[in-house]
Amino acid sequence: MCRAADLQTAVLAKNDEGARDLRARMAARGTALVNLMSSPGSGKTALLEAELGLARERGLAVAALTADLATENDARRLARSGVPVRQVLTDGLCHLETDMLGRHLDGWPEQDVRLLFVENVGNLVCPASYDLGESLRVVLASVTEGEDKPLKYPTAFGLAHLVVVTKNDIAEAVEFDREAFLGHVRQVNPGVEVVFTSARSGEGAGLLLDRALAVADGAAPHRPVMATATVALVEDGHAHAHAFGLGHGHPHAHAHPHPHDPADAHDGAHDGAPAAAR
C-alpha cells in the first residue's frame, strides 16, 4: 500500500527534477527567476507593480507571472506597468509547482528578459516546500502582520534569500516593533538581508529590483543556514530531507496532483492584457 509520506516524497522529488530543468532553461535564456512569497494582503502586488514600473522606466527587459486560485485581478494590475504579464489560475491549489510554470514559459515572453518575477499564491505554508528553479527567493511581510511572523513560518523565512517588509509607512501607527522583527528573522535565517519598503510613500523603491538585478548579473544570493544544513544531511546519507522542508516535515506539501491547465487562450505580451491560463 502506498503511504502518504511516500507519495509526498515522490511529488517533491518530481518537482525538484522540474526545478533543475527550469533553472537550466532560464539560465540558457539569460533570465533570472525571482520567486515572491507572502501571506494574503501583504501588499506584494502593489510593491511588484511599482518595481515593474521602475524597471520599464529604466529600459530593463522584465516580465511577471502571477498566480491565484481565481480571478485575473492581479494580472490586470501588474499589466498597467507596461511589461509582459501572464496569469496562472491554480484552480484551488495553494502553491505553484515547476510543471505549472514550465507550461506557461514555452515561447513566452517572446523577447529575452533579464528578470522574470513570479508572484506565488498568497500563502506562507504550501509554497515554501516547492523549489521553482528560482535564482532569488524573496519572502515579504507587512508591518501589520506581527513581529513574530518569522517564528510562525520558519521554513518560508528560513529559506529566503531576501526578506522584504512592506507598508512601512504605517509602522508607527500599528506599533510595529522593528528590532523584535529583525531579531526573529535572525533566529531562523542568520545573515539574510531585510529591506523596508512602502509602495504608498515610495520608501525603498527599487531595492527589490536592484537585488534581483545583482543576482542576474552573477552575484551570489544569501545562502540560508537551513538550506546548507539540509544539503549536509543528504550528502552524509543520514537522512533524506527535502531542501525546502528541513526540520518541519514538509509542513504543507500536498500529495494530490493539481488540476490540468489547458493551453492559453491568448497572450498579452504585446498588448498589455494579461494572458490567463487555467
Over residues 3-37, the pLDDT tens digits come to 656 656 766 788 889 899 999 999 999 999 999 99
- Residues of the chain by 3-state class (helix, strand, coil), percent to 5: 40, 15, 45
Residue bearing the bigger pLDDT, 58 or 106: 58
- Residues 221, 248, single domain; the answer is no
Adjacent-strand bridge partners of 136 = 34
Measured torsion, CA atoms of residues 206, 140, 37, 32, in degrees rounded to the nearest 10:
30
- Residues 251, 268, single domain; the answer is yes
Q: What are the residues whose beta carbons fall under 8 Å from the beta carbon of 191, sequence distance 6 or more?
A: 222, 225
- Distance between CA atoms of residues 67 and 88, nearest Å: 5
Q: Give pLDDT, residue 107.
A: 86
No. of helices (H) and no. of strands (E), the chain:
9, 8
Residue where a domain terminates, one of 208, 226, 244: 226
- Distance between CA atoms of residues 40 and 186, nearest Å: 23
- Residues 35, 98, single domain; the answer is yes
Q: What DSSP assignment string belongs to 160-181?
A: -SEEEEE-GGGTTTTT--HHHH
Q: Give pLDDT, residue 230.
A: 53
Judge if the upstream peptide bond of residue 109 is cis by omega within 30 degrees of 0. yes
Q: Is the pLDDT reported for residue 228 higher than 80?
A: no
pLDDT bin (cut points 50, 70, 90) of residue 179 is very high
> Region 77-84: what's the mean pLDDT?
96
Residue where a domain terminates, one of 226, 247, 267: 226
- Residues 95, 27, single domain; the answer is yes
Helices 44-57 & 207-216, crossing angle to 10 degrees? 70
- Residues 208, 91, single domain; the answer is yes
- Residues 211, 253, single domain; the answer is no
Could you identify the residue written with the cell 495553494? 94
Q: Give pLDDT, residue 33.
A: 97
Sheet containing strand 136-142, edge to edge, reads 193-196, 162-166, 136-142, 32-37, 115-119, 62-68, 85-89, 275-277
Q: Give pLDDT, residue 138.
A: 98
Overall number of domains in the chain: 2
Look up the CATH number of the domain holding residue 146.
3.40.50.300
- Residues 248, 110, single domain; the answer is no
> Region 92-117: what's the mean pLDDT?
87
- Residues 122, 254, single domain; the answer is no
Count Cα neighbours of 94 within 13 Å in the Cβ-side half-sphere. 15
- Residues 256, 202, single domain; the answer is no
pTM for this prediction: 0.81
Please answer whether residues 190 and 159 qualify as being in contact, where contact means their C-beta atoms are separated by less than 8 angstroms. Answer: no
Residue where a domain terminates, one of 183, 211, 226: 226
Sign of CA dihedral 127, 129, 130, 133: positive
With left for phi above 0 and alpha for psi between -120 and 50, is residue 107 left, alpha or beta? left
Q: Which of 108, 112, 72, 106 is nearest to 88 (CA)?
A: 72
- Residues 274, 181, single domain; the answer is no
Mean of all residue pLDDT scores within the chain: 83
- Residues 205, 252, single domain; the answer is no
3-state secondary structure of 3: coil
Q: Give pLDDT, residue 21.
A: 92
Q: Which of 9-13, 163-167, 203-207, 259-263 has the lowest mean pLDDT?
A: 259-263
Q: Is the pLDDT reported for residue 224 higher than 90?
A: yes
- Residues 210, 239, single domain; the answer is no
Q: What's the domain range around 71?
A: 4-226
